[in-house]
Amino acid sequence: MSIRDSEEYKKMNSFHACACAEGFCEGENASEDEQLAAWQYIRDTGLWRSLQGFYGRQVSHLVNAGVIE
């Protein structure tokens, strides 16, 4: 099953994705599945382009490692 088909991915929005990716607010105790869904969402929406450089570097790393598409 693709990350994009997961329930975690389907409930993402910009704030929740950033919270899960960085571990703040409701993303503080995010599962690994939620974190990966968040990174996939950040990549798919292009959100990483408007955020600090950390996001772009992390997206690039995860894509190159084959963790996200």
- Is 90 exceeded by the pLDDT of residue 1? no
- Mean of the pLDDT values across residues 9-19? 97
Determine the Cα–Cα distance for residues 52 and 3; give it in Å rounded to an integer.
Answer: 24
How many domains is the chain partitioned into structurally? 1
Question: Is residue 69 one of the residues assigned to a domain?
Answer: no
Domain that holds residue 18: 3-64
Question: What per-residue confidence (pLDDT) applies to 14?
Answer: 98
pLDDT confidence band for 54 (50 / 70 / 90):
very high
Determine the Cα–Cα distance for residues 69 and 54; give it in Å rounded to an integer.
Answer: 18
